[in-house]
Chain A
Amino acid sequence: MFTDLHVHSLHSSGADTPGFLRRLARSLGVELCLCDGVVHEGIASGVEVHATTKRELLSELRRNWRRFDYLLVHGGNMEINRCAVRDSRVDALLHPYAGRRDCGVDTVVARAAAESGVAVGVELEDLILARGMERVRVLAHFREILRLSRKYGFRVLATSGARCRYSLRSLREAEALLACCGFEREEALRALTQVPREILERKVRLRRELSRGVRFAEG
């Protein structure tokens, strides 16, 4: 099942209520997680951190990371990209290519992401809404991120980035769109299903810990 970690509802910048999106997502076979910066009952809730400086990013991470099921960082600025992938509180760095000519992932970011386990996110909405040369650039960025992920072994996360009902995509559609950027079937399925599940399970595991590395013995 496609677990979509980046969907906005009416509570942030979206156009539909969480209940509406949830029912629609269920009919599409998508597990919905809302990234509104609000805790929704019964739905995995996350936050997308927007920061312009490293200091601001760290302060946002400190403030938010225990409150939400997962934490995404809006990339684009190289300083933010590097800082985000080095911090294990971050679950994924989203669209590191935003507003850039390159894909926003260099060898430093790629190595750090592979070591810390922070996923690098690509957004289907960026591909769908772009036109002409802008779409060409987005496709090239997706390909470059995939190529570096094959080389350095960091995880790639794919999300819809939906702000309305017409942006939600089923697993089949998402897989077809990723195939346009060179994703093999297994790679696409991993980015759409396995990586988001790992992100959600990681937070559950961390919450059981008393402090870093110390947890209650089970049984």
Chain B
Amino acid sequence: MLRAKPLPASLRPRKRYIAFRAESDRRLTRREVGSAIAASALSLFGETGVSEMNLRLLEFREDEQRGFVVCAHTQVLRAVAAMSAVSEIGGERVHLRPLGVSGTVRALRRKFLSGEAALISSEKRVKLEGKDFILRGTISGLCYAEPVDEVLRERLRILKLRFVGALDKELRGEEDAADAKHGL
């Protein structure tokens, strides 16, 4: 099939690339993130508005939960608003946190998409303020713990969350708790 001749550089639409990190209590797929951004943009700005934005998800790395979108260079604020207005995917709370904006993909990768602390999975039983939790993961000292207490689980269900966020130093392992019991 005959391909369209590329426009000269001076006539090509100017673009901005926005890197983001998807934050959620579960791993999101590219398809889910792409449709959530499109639905949010359509809901906020309508079909005419989105056609002016030229907003598309270009890349989403499911292992790192990071990616980037492209938009028209004058529509960065609207694109950020559309991503920021995504509140849930599949009935669970999420946040697509913008990391930065760049004019080229190469600069975007160098500045915002290189090097990320890895999530360390865990199944340890811990205590937080006297209540029992199961530690599910830690990333850069930020821990995600699942409560055993039914009242707290109900509160999380209402908030559409699975885990409580706590600092590693606030959680006490079972051994530490036993030490504390014996006054050590």
Contacts and interface: CB of A to CB of B under 8 A. Distances in A.
B141 A23 contact: yes
B62 interface: no
Contacts of A135: 43
B102 interface: no
B81 A13 contact: no
Q: Please name the 6 residue pairs, one residue from A and one from B, whose CB atoms are nearest each other, closest first.
A: A16-B165, A176-B81, A166-B95, A173-B84, A176-B80, A20-B165
A166 B43 contact: no
Interface SS of A by simple majority = helix
A128 B128 CA distance: 30
Nearest to A132: B43
B75 to A, nearest CB: 11
Contact of B165 (A24, A175, A179): A24
A206 interface: no
A17 B170 contact: yes
Contacts of A13: 155
A164 interface: yes
Nearest to A166: B95
A131 B85 CA distance: 10
A41 to B, nearest CB: 14
A176 B78 contact: yes
Contact of B84 (A129, A132, A176): A176
Given A131-B43, A167-B93, 13 more contacts: A17-B128, A17-B164, A128-B85, A135-B43, A166-B95, A167-B87, A169-B84, A170-B98, A173-B97, A177-B81, A177-B85, A179-B77, A180-B45
27 contacts: A13-B155, A15-B156, A15-B165, A16-B166, A17-B164, A20-B143, A21-B165, A23-B141, A23-B142, A23-B167, A132-B43, A135-B43, A164-B159, A164-B165, A165-B23, A165-B95, A166-B94, A166-B161, A172-B98, A173-B80, A173-B97, A176-B78, A176-B80, A177-B85, A179-B77, A179-B78, A180-B78
A19 B54 CA distance: 40
Given A15-B156, A166-B24, A127 B165 contact: no
Contacts of A19: 166-167, 169-170
